[in-house]
Amino acid sequence: MDYDHLARVIRKLAIQAGDRIMQIYNSDDFEVKTKSDDSPVTEADEAADELISAGLRSEFPDIMLVTEEQADSHDTSGDTFLIVDPLDGTKEFINRRGDFTVNIALVENGTPTRGVVYAPARDRMFLTLADGTAVEEAGPFDADKIGATTPLRVADSDNDALMVVASKSHRDQATDDYIAKYAVKDMKSAGSSLKFCLVAAGEADLYPRVGRTMEWDTAAGHAVLAGAGGKVVRFDDHTPLTYGKDGYANPFFIAFAPGVQLKGV
């Protein structure tokens, strides 16, 4: 794998998809449909998926591609593939709250190794470079040329005063009960895969997810967090979260800076 080429391609596609998403986001109205699992999908999801899928298939025809919006792509299995959520945080998009992202990642041997998370309404871009390290790029974003970057590094966590980030749209009592096991200094709320990126940037120490997610929701953020020195483990036994699972469904998980002393279930 030419990781330098991969990094350039997925970054460019994320920016182009983000531009298309924002055109729809800023329009007077857009269509919202309901998928078979009762989750919402918009024309922005579909337009971004079409753009990204075409670009990845053109540049990497020999690598399996899994995307949220193409159910037929889920019939094959393997532990090395490209995986895409063209618009993570559709509810945030529909409610015009801004915390939605474009996510593209490479999974190798069951582990996300490279990825990009682009939040076009927030002007934030998190990505892994060719060497696997994670950075945040400062806008404005030029699809053909990377701008100034800041290396990402997880926090040196103080277990007596942790910063916790949790979901805006999927917060529940089980999440609150788990968070209560820790000495929490403050809480942040964020949508989509931005929660991984806040941990990667040292802006939070811990992100527990006690709820349903799919691999395309998490792979890019997972790659960015890993590139910043963070970890993602299963909620039940604290073993590493792996990818290429049957149906691409995730168990509950915890994303964290390694200095955090994890509590049991």
Cβ-based neighbour number of residue 172 at 10 Å: 11
- Is the CB of residue 155 less than 8 Å from the CB of residue 163? yes
> Any binding-site annotation on 186?
no
Q: 24: part of which helix (H) or strand (E)?
A: helix 3-25
> Any binding-site annotation on 43?
no
> Any binding-site annotation on 4?
no
* 24 phi/psi in degrees, rounded to 5: -75, -40
* Residue ranges of E strands in 89-240: 101-108, 111-119, 124-128, 134-137, 149-151, 162-167, 184-190, 206-209, 213-214, 231-234
Amino acid letter, residue 122: R
Closest by alpha carbon to 44, among 122, 101, 82? 101
Quote the CA–CA distance of 85 and 103 in Å, as a whole number: 5
> Any binding-site annotation on 89?
yes
∠ CA(61), CA(74), CA(50), 5° rounding?
55
> Any binding-site annotation on 85?
yes
Q: Write the CB contacts of 132 (distance below 8 Å, at least 6 apart in sequence).
A: 3, 113, 114, 226, 227
> Any binding-site annotation on 90?
yes
How is residue 210 written in tokens? 């006690």
> Any binding-site annotation on 172?
no
Binding residues for Mg(2+): 68, 85, 87-88, 217
Binding residues for substrate: 68, 87-90, 217
Binding residues: 68, 85, 87-90, 217
